[in-house]
Structure 1
Amino acid sequence: MGARGNKPVTADTWTRVRQMLRAAVGEDVFTSWFARLELEEVVDDLAHLSVPTRFLCSWIQSNYAERILEAFQQETRDIQRLHFTVRVNGQARPRLVPPAEPVAAEPSHGDPAPAPARPMAPAQAARTDALSGSALDPKMTFDTFVPGGPNDIALGVAKQVAHAAANNTVTFNPVYIHSTVGLGKSHLLNAIAWAAGAADANRNVVYLTADHFMYHFITAVQRQSAIGFKEWLRRIDLLLIDDMQFLQGKSATEFGHTLSALLTGAKQVVVAGDAPPRDLDMLDDRVKSRLSGGLVVPINPFDEELRRAIVARRAEQATVRFAGVHFPTPVLDYIAHSVVSHGRDLDGAVNRLVAANQLTGEPITVGLAEKTLADLIRSRESRRVRIEDILKMVSRHYKVPRNDLLSARRSRDVVRPRQIAMYLAKSLTARSLPEIGRRFGGRDHTTVLHSVRKVEQLMKDDGELQQEVELLKKMLEE
């Protein structure tokens, strides 16, 4: 690489430019948009930059070109223009989308004018055929999606759609995924985009939130370029629209026209919303019918098993990222059992406990979770606990048959759960020691007292056991 002037552009220059961009936009935005941006060469005052996809090329050209040029010019005034290309098999090639003119810097007062160059329209006036979608989240892939009974069907359909789109075929069309907030609709749409080839320059995959769709449409109308906007939409191979319920006014009408055109052309469309198509009042009946006539897939509220799997995955990720973080099993069980709203609250619960641990040094326990997550946990009235409830809960938790808890068996895997059950009976019920003994297979009251004291001592010596017993108490009182 070379440049004219007394300060040549080197690999170190590009490294510093990337560092400035990272500091300016933040780590998440940098990872999404700039991590795969490379400097190919510098010819005179023109820097040639490349990315692996048309999608990235259009987005960076339209939204960040001026910021990148400013970062270059903080390092060297030799760079006055930028040109973006799309790489194929690691090699740069001309863009597949019609490019805007190279970015030219405006000379500041007192600086010598740059060498003659083709002027560029400002980024905010980028041509409509350089439109792009909303930012994809690199963390939302099929690999990071936690499957379970409530979302199995939606996940299976999403994978099938992605596989078909990656092979230039169309499966169910359109696909409409709906659920209440926080159950994974956006995650699935992002995952489809990545798996279908969002990183492949040969596929035109576009993910749009409803507000982004409306922004593009309104901007196109204001600039009297609505025809170009419609043509851009119709060139998309896979269109994913998120948060459909927020689409309003003429944008909803335009979506209906676009949907019809894409389906007629056998292009794949995937839509997500918080209600079934019939309940989307902003759409006319014809569009509702087109959506309902495809494949409508609900994501059901999470059951405790799926919540437990999600919490375990998030906790595992946290232990990798943060030194000294440990989530005991009872804490995972407590979160899964108590935080029942949606997936984002499960993520938030794990994040809060990590923050509390990192800021105070306090170990993550059921007690800390109860204190830290109070506003996420549904309010419940304590109920009257019966010994029969305790026997069922302990039997299920320790996987010991109820009859063994009442039997004379003395093996350790039975004795400890039996003692804990007696302790819980003494702690949570008004039954006397003799009554508890009778309910536990006709035992003497001294046996019950010994069990209660034994468990109390064990809880003092073993913090893990203490959390486990406290969890059982909370579950029984709900």
Structure 2
Amino acid sequence: MYKSEGIASGFFPGHKSARPAQGSFARTPARFDSQTAAASWDRVRSRLKSTLGEEVYTSWFACMQLDAVAGEGVQLSVPTRFLKSWIQTHYAEPLDTFWREEVPTLKQVDLVVRSAVARMPLRPVGEQAAAPKATAAAAVAPRPRTAVPFAAEAPMASVDGLPASPLDPRLNFDTFVVGRSNTLAHAAAREISECRAGESTRFNPLYVHSAVGLGKTHLLQAIAWQASRLGRRVLYLTAEKFMFGFVAALKNQTALAFKEALRGIDLLIIDDLQFLQGKSVQQEFCHTLNALIDSGRPVVIAADRPPAELESLDERVRSRLAGGLPVEIGPLEEELRRSILAARIGQIRAKHPGFEVPDEVVGYVAAQVTANGRDLDGALNRLLAHNTLTSCAVTLEMAEHAIRDLVRSPDNTKRVRIEDIIRIVAEHSGITKQDVLSSRRTANVVLPRQVAMYLAKTLTLRSLPEIGRRFGGRDHTTVLHAVRKIEGKTKTDRGFAEEVELLKRRILE
């Protein structure tokens, strides 16, 4: 049944194990059973991690399990055929060597795929190798496919060895408030989340775009939670996490594994696509997108603007995204803002039963805080803080004082895009948009660039790091320096200040 040298035929061909180190015989168990095998497996994993490194171990061995002990052999399992093939090709020798140094009497190490083979349970200590026929029949029954464990108690950290972005258990369909501005996006998200593995969807890819804080991430995470409950293998990633994973795979020479693992999932969800940078990363994303869509597996993507306006993204990717279903989540209408506030107040009262917000205060906040849902959450947090920390009742007067800095002037209610700011400033200064984004340091380019950065900070809700990325990948300290310089210059140079105000009016028209 077992071979006397090397790992079982068909699993790790071409490798012969090294002879066990002399010092390892001191750990040889008198009897090889499930308990001693488990202890040996713990030591083998420790040696793999220390020898191959944390990143390699996490990528290839973190999902490996010890499944069975039979006679003088052990059975290990991994969740996918690809992982099995990669480990056979690249890490057979150390795996075999470390096992034999732990258990010199071992004759066979089998590697199987959990979802494709029968699993024989580990025998309790002292159980004989021979099993009754009824037990053997039960052992060969196919193992049912299990859902990816996206659970509120323990969000999935990885899928088939791919690191996933964390999920917030609060962001699900039950807590998503639907209104006129997000009805279509919600309906499309629901349809994709409820498709079962192997079923095609009419809209692929689904591309959701909106300004900051209008519910894109909430909707994407809701899709991940719901789809995973139906047994689908879901991978939720931010664009930054995707880039990090691909670059790490290149560094560790595991790029092929990264690509194949991506193509093997049931549903790919990418958030904040506007941050995807780098030619090689974008090419890999394009190949992955094509492979999943062509095989009928859905892809859901979110960004802060339509595909055509993602100017830093490869044209082929933009075209593929536009060919799916691009859906915009519009500004939150007042009725929806009131509904969101009512839902949030209900959630807060579950922990703070004494928190009472009069209808007139809810109406005031809904009418005055118009930018996005995060500002609504911030307004309620301030009311809660004043109420619980100072024992002041929530009144209209208190609300006016607490949220005064969240109340925006009419000029700031218009959605302003950084691309428009760059274009208008470039036209006004007689230079090109490419000049503004370039590394040129001449005076006729530097000052307009700084003005554009200043306007981006004052007219949009973008953070300094995000503005820096949109200005050719600059650091946030560069943006901060530009903002402070323009602020100082407008205070001392009246003509310059008037020119900046003229640009503001043009941008807000």
TM-score tier by shorter-chain length is 0.5 to 0.7
For residues 170-207 of structure 1, the C-alpha deviation after alignment (integer angstroms, 9 at most, x for no partner) is 3311111100010011111111111112x45x422101
Match of residue 306 from structure 1: 336
Q: Does 1:354 align with 2:384?
A: yes
What residue in structure 1 maps to residue 238 of structure 2? 209
Structure 2 counterpart of 1:291, which letter? L
Aligned CA distance change for structure 1 residues 380 and 155 (closer, same or farther; 3 Å): closer
Query: 1:365 is aligned with what amino acid?
Result: T
SS of residue in 2 equivalent to 1:150: coil
Partners of 1:285 and 1:297 in 2: CA distance:
19
Q: Distance in 2 between matches of 1:150 and 1:129?
A: 36
Q: CA separation in 2, counterparts of 1:96 and 1:253?
A: 27
Q: 1:288-307 alignment to 2 at 5 Å?
A: 288-307=318-337
Number of equivalences: 285
Q: Does residue 141 of structure 2 align to residue 158 of structure 1?
A: no
AA at the equivalent of 1:138: P
Per the alignment, residue 144 of structure 1 pairs with 175
Q: Given the alignment of the two structures, is residue 173 of structure 1 paired with residue 204 of structure 2, yes or no?
A: yes
Residue 235 of structure 1: aligned partner:
264
CA distance in 2, matches of 1:183, 1:166: 29
Q: What runs of 5+ residues in structure 1 fail to find an aligned partner?
A: 1-40, 49-58, 67-81, 86-92, 102-114, 119-125, 382-478
Match of 1:255 among 282, 285, 298: 285
- Are the structure 2 counterparts of residues 309 and 164 from structure 1 closer, same or farther at C-alpha, using a change threshold of 3 Å? same
Q: Is this contact kept in 2: 1:174–1:268, CA < 8 A?
A: yes
Do the aligned partners of residues 251 and 380 (structure 1) sit closer, same or farther apart at CA in structure 2, a change above 3 Å counting? closer
Q: 1:270–1:84: structure 2 CA closer, same or farther, 3 Å change rule?
A: farther
Alpha-carbon displacement from aligned partner over 1:330-374 (angstroms, at most 9, x marks no partner): 111111001001011111111121122111111111111111111
Question: Corresponding residue for 2:219?
Answer: 188
- The CA distance in 2 between the partners of 1:141 and 1:47, in whole Å, is 39
Partner residue of 2:306 out of 243, 260, 276 = 276
d(CA) in 2 for partners of 1:320, 1:327: 14
Return the alpha-carbon distance in structure 2 between the equivalents of residues 207 and 321 of structure 1: 30
CA contact (8 A) 2:208 2:329 kept: yes
Contact 2:203 2:324 in 1 (8 A): yes
Partner of 1:5: none
Alpha-carbon separation, structure 2, partners of 1:326 and 1:272? 36
Q: Is the 8 A contact 2:206 2:324 kept in 1?
A: yes
* CA shift in 2, pair 1:341/1:256, >3 Å: same
Q: CA–CA distance in 2 between the matches of 1:220 and 1:212?
A: 12
Aligned to 1:3: none
Under a length normalisation based on structure 1, what TM-score does the superposition of the two structures give?
0.54
> CA 1:47/1:304 → structure 2, altered by over 3 Å: closer, same or farther?
farther
Distance change in 2, residues 1:230/1:378 (3 Å): same
- The aligned residue for residue 96 of structure 1 is 79
Where 1:319 maps in the other structure, the secondary structure is helix
Q: Which amino acid aligns with 1:328?
A: P
CA distance in 1, matches of 2:241, 2:171: 19
Deviations 1:44-87 (A, max 9, x none): 64899xxxxxxxxxx9x949x99xxxxxxxxxxxxxxx9599xx
Gaps of 5+ in 2: 1-34, 43-54, 68-75, 88-100, 105-156, 412-509
Distance 1:62 1:360, change over 3 A: farther
Instruction: Give the whole-Å Cα distance in 2 for the aligned partners of 1:343 and 1:117.
Output: 59
Partner of 1:402: none
SS at match of 1:344: helix
* Pairing 1:362-377 to 2, within 5 Å after superposition: 362-377=392-407
SS at match of 2:207: strand
Task: State the shift of 1:127 in Å.
Answer: 11
Could you tell me whether the CA contact under 8 Å between 2:79 and 2:160 is conserved in 1? Answer: no
The amino acid that maps onto 1:238 is: L
User: In 2, are the aligned partners of 1:134 and 1:209 still within 8 Å (CA)?
Assistant: yes
C-alpha separation in 1, matches of 2:232 and 2:370? 39
Partner Cα separation in structure 1 for residue 215 and residue 375 of structure 2 = 12
SS in 1 for 2:311: coil
Check 1:222–1:332 CA distance in 2 against 1; reply closer, same or farther (3 A cut): same
* Cα 1:127/1:84, change in 2 over 3 Å: farther
Cα 1:357/1:221, change in 2 over 3 Å? same
Distance in 2 between residues matched to 1:184 and 1:373, nearest whole Å: 21
Q: Would the alpha carbon gap of residues 324 and 96 (structure 1) be closer, same or farther in structure 2, given more than 3 Å must change?
A: same
Q: Which residue of 2 aligns with 1:245?
A: 274
Give yes or no for contact 1:253–1:283 (8 Å, CA) kept in 2: no
Contact 1:160 1:171 in 2 (8 A): no
Q: Is 1:330 aligned with 2:360?
A: yes
Contact 1:193 1:207 in 2 (8 A): yes
Is the alpha carbon distance of 1:305 and 1:42 closer, same or farther for their aligned partners in structure 2, counting shifts above 3 Å?
farther
Letter in 2 for 1:368: M
- Deviation at 1:254? 1.5
Within 2, Cα distance between the matches of 1:183 and 1:228?
A: 36
2:348 counterpart residue number: 318
CA distance in 1, matches of 2:158, 2:330: 42
Change (3 A) 1:186 1:173: same
Percentage identity across aligned positions? 45
Q: CA deviation at 1:166?
A: 5.6
Task: Call closer, same or farther: CA 1:176–1:333 in 2, change over 3 Å.
Answer: same
- The answer on whether the counterparts of 1:239 and 1:269 sit within 8 Å (CA) in structure 2 is yes
CA contact (8 A) 1:128 1:225 kept: no
C-alpha displacement of 1:142: 0.7
Tell me by how many angstroms 1:130 deviates: 1.1
Alpha carbons 2:209, 2:328 under 8 Å: kept: yes
Corresponding residue number in structure 2 for 1:220: 249
Alpha-carbon offset, residue 262 of structure 1: 1.2
